[in-house]
Structure 1
Amino acid sequence: MAVEIRTLTGEELKTALADLAHLRISVFRDWPYLYDGSADYEAKYLQRYAQSDGAVIVGAYDGGKLVGAATGEPLRKELEAFRAPFEARGFSCGDIFYMAESVLDPAWRGQGIGHRFFDAREAHARQLGFGKAAFCAVVRPDDHPLRPQSYRPLDTFWRKRGYEKLDGLIVRFPWKDVGDTRETEKPMQVWFRSL
């Protein structure tokens, strides 16, 4: 299967937000995020990219259909929940490009698209003058009842990309899990590298 990778900024980025919302709801419903999303929440959450200088969506397209996407923006433009743990540890948010979500339809996995997402976001960050990048990944207990037996963490992939965990640097962000009636905060481990 052939996929086209496009780096979207400005008006192209804004046009892709609705498709990104649908993809996030679908992909993040699975382990480990277990996200019970809604179109209304997504519209509000993703709007920050439309208003952020430096924001990017790297889209994977099958024809005209968005089958995967990875986002990013300068950390100083991110929500406070993402910035605050960095600031508390003495990091300058103005120096770091934040690699936000990365979602890919399961039918397209295992074809190197994840690497292409990182390549494009890192190139975008360098073009903007950033020398550091970070992202965070949800932390779930190994004995969680919804953890699939076949689940393999992506730690090895991220380390091959040059990222390492920043020990003790945890972002806490709320969302509603599948089967829950309200949002609860989830811990998310920060990964970091110099570009």
Structure 2
Amino acid sequence: MLLTATLLGIPWWVSVSGYFVIGTLWACFYLPRRVKLMARAYHAWRKETLEDRSLAEVLGPETEYRSRLLRISPAEFRRCRDRDDWSEQRLIASFIANIAFWPIRVPQKILTDYLVEFWLSVFRWLRVVFRLVRNAISAVWRVLRNFITWLYRHVQTLYQAIILRANREAIADLKKLEGR
């Protein structure tokens, strides 16, 4: 950050204070949204895991769970909970990383998320164009194949007629020989 400010000729006190202002704005707008998304994800995971039962019913020595006995200890439940995206440690770590590395995260978002979407849309359009070209080539090939087949049959008929005329005497002689 300071290197960029030095290269651009921005005084360091402006870049450092700007860094903290951007960090504060990020905290005000990013943190509530992230916490809300994490709460939704946790609620869905808990609902699926506990099957709409209370935590006290499932946490214990043995419980009936999907028609089989299951033992869920509180430590196991916490381990499964903390393994996924809604853990408090992950929230704090991602928040600190986003604040600390926002000059890197903005280009990263642009280079990854937006460029991925851009290239996916480009490839979708290319797929549509290639499908149209393939269908056009296929249609042209069918027309050409049908024309060549028709032409071959006509030429074959013509050749048979020429051969029959040229060999009329030989054919007549063969018929006389067979008639004996």
Q: TM-score range by the shorter chain?
A: under 0.3
Greater relative contact order (Cα < 8 A, sep 6+): 1
TM-score (ref. length: structure 1): 0.15
Q: Which has the higher helix share?
A: 2
